Structure 1
Amino acid sequence: MTMQFTSTDSYVAPPDLAKAVNAAITLERPLLVKGEPGTGKTELARQVAESLGLRMVEWNVKSTTKAQQGLYEYDAVSRLRDSQLGEARVHDVANYIRKGKIWQAFEADEKVVLLIDEVDKADIEFPNDLLQELDRMEFHVYETGETIAAKHRPIVIITSNNEKELPDAFLRRCFFHYIRFPDAETLKRIVEVHYPGLKPRLLEEALGQFFEIREVQGLKKKPSTSEFLDWLKLILAEDLTPEDLKRPAQEMLPKLHGALLKNEQDISLFERLAFMSRNPRR
């Protein structure tokens, strides 16, 4: 039976995103998901696992992460120390092999979802260094002489924030999907999942201001879906009304703007715009 991903009770997946996930599953290729931060790329993997009833193995990539760490690491320092102490375990090199996330996914007794999160944070060679292993679904452990092959081909989801270009050879082996920022209707559905029964007038006012902010030219960081949900949480906690949210004609910053604007440059931009609206050139 073919696995089919759909929206879950806690995640609204647009039809094109669901199709991309299912296409990658059918093709047995990694799904490369790009999109601006806060559009739910990481959460997608968790929801795919939940929707399909699978366990998830999560590998969070950092700027210092090497591809080899996803396979395994050999702790030569510990082995040297144990040899100096006369430890018996030193004679079995397997005691000093640390399994990486890819190894864990390959040896699982059931199919799993393998998330390689924020692949673009690492060195430019990082994706290429994983090509063969993700293609063949196996790798060799040189220290022990064994080959680790996937018992069940995992569903591989790779996320990128577009911080750097990924190699062509890597892209060829992936099914690609760009998560567009949700439109107002999709955002309403997302809000309904998190805050069911929110008063329509309050939501309309909040949505209007949110999209106005995102359209301001010169923003260093546009507020994301997750930040909009945080803002709504604060609005509800403060018991604000649609009238409370409305800004005076010459006031640019929204109420509780710290949930939406995350750097001083963007706050300064809104303050300059407010000053210009109060002091138009004659």
Structure 2
Amino acid sequence: MKFEGTAAYVATDDLKLAVNAAIALQRPLLVKGEPGTGKTLLAEQLAEALGTRLITWHIKSTTKAHQGLYEYDAVSRLRDSQLGVDKVHDVRNYIKKGKLWEAFEADQRVVLLIDEIDKADIEFPNDLLQELDRMEFFVYETGETVKAAQRPIIVITSNNEKELPDAFLRRCFFHYIAFPDRDTLQRIVDVHFPSIRQELVQEALEIFFDIRKVPGLKKKPSTSELVDWLKLLMADQIGEAVLRERDPTKAIPPLAGALVKNEQDVMLLERLAFMSRRAGR
């Protein structure tokens, strides 16, 4: 199995090397990077490239590790026993399989995405160490051991909201998706908009990188936000001339709500524009 990117996903050489190394080592691939740089999309496109199924486990702040294995509904079983329901005699009727169980019992090798692991409690990664290492876990209610029929390809994403434990990091192959350079962004845009006017792309990229270079910006615009912005520019038929000839003393470019996502950054850009107007007098 070799990942070479797909028609819908531009993968750098470093990223392709990391994915294939993780597959060869049979270790989870831990992917970090700015939000919007394609970490989740990587798992989706990896599954497509390998012709296999993607199983996604979206992590929330309340998610517990055991939920990825299974959940036992003791309350429902107690209620059914009081009501005399027949299914109460088989405990399996009250066990809900988690995403790891689903991946372990799949009849083909699947891609398992554990998305935004850093959202969970700090103990969450440690609680999965044994299961990810041995590719098996024990179900206490039934006394059975669930083993992976075929070891899944595991992709774990993190936005760096909190540090992950060393013991967990040791078991992963790590890759940081650096923000794309201009040439890579051009290729990404071409994938999404093959018929877009290149003059519009060039002017849009100039403004995009200018915004990213503003010191003190709380949330820099990402790759996905650039794609959204270009889509809006095309939908509203805003051409490259409007971008090229816009007043540099204005606060933000047209439809910049796709790029600037909080009031602090809007105020920062407006303040810089005010200073530019003062300097130009």
Mean Cα displacement is larger for which, 98-107 or 251-260? 251-260
* Aligned-partner residue type, residue 10 of structure 1: A
Alignment length (residue pairs): 280
TM-score, normalised with respect to structure 1: 0.98
- The residue that corresponds to 1:29 in the other structure is 27
Aligned equivalents of 1:22, 1:280: Cα separation in 2: 53
Unmatched 5+ stretches in structure 1 = none
How far is the alpha carbon of 1:44 from its aligned partner? 0.2
TM-score, normalised with respect to structure 2: 0.98
Unmatched 5+ stretches in structure 2 = none
* Aligned-partner residue type, residue 116 of structure 2: E
Classify the secondary structure of the residue corresponding to 1:159.
strand
The reply to whether residue 276 of structure 1 matches residue 269 of structure 2 is: no
* Aligned-partner residue type, residue 276 of structure 2: S
* Aligned-partner residue type, residue 12 of structure 1: V
- The residue that corresponds to 1:249 in the other structure is 248
Classify the secondary structure of the residue corresponding to 2:145.
strand
* Aligned-partner residue type, residue 39 of structure 2: K
Aligned equivalents of 1:152, 1:249: Cα separation in 2: 58
How far is the alpha carbon of 1:16 from its aligned partner? 0.4
- The residue that corresponds to 1:20 in the other structure is 18
Aligned equivalents of 1:255, 1:185: Cα separation in 2: 24
Classify the secondary structure of the residue corresponding to 1:148.
strand
- The residue that corresponds to 1:195 in the other structure is 193
Mean Cα displacement is larger for which, 139-148 or 242-251? 242-251
Which of 37, 49, 52 is 2:50 aligned to?
52
Aligned equivalents of 1:162, 1:245: Cα separation in 2: 34
- The residue that corresponds to 1:231 in the other structure is 229
* Residue identity (%): 70
How far is the alpha carbon of 1:197 from its aligned partner? 2.5
Aligned equivalents of 2:109, 2:229: Cα separation in 1: 38
How far is the alpha carbon of 1:250 from its aligned partner? 1.3
How far is the alpha carbon of 1:214 from its aligned partner? 0.5
How far is the alpha carbon of 1:252 from its aligned partner? 3.3
For residues 69-122 of structure 1, what are the alpha-carbon distances to aligned partners after superposition, in whole Å with 9 as ceiling and x for unaligned?
000000001001100100111111111000000000000011000000000000
**Structural RMSD (CA):** 1.0
The reply to whether residue 95 of structure 1 matches residue 102 of structure 2 is: no
How far is the alpha carbon of 1:281 from its aligned partner? 9.8
- The residue that corresponds to 1:75 in the other structure is 73
Aligned equivalents of 2:195, 2:69: Cα separation in 1: 46
- The residue that corresponds to 1:259 in the other structure is 258
Classify the secondary structure of the residue corresponding to 1:157.
strand
* Aligned-partner residue type, residue 279 of structure 1: R
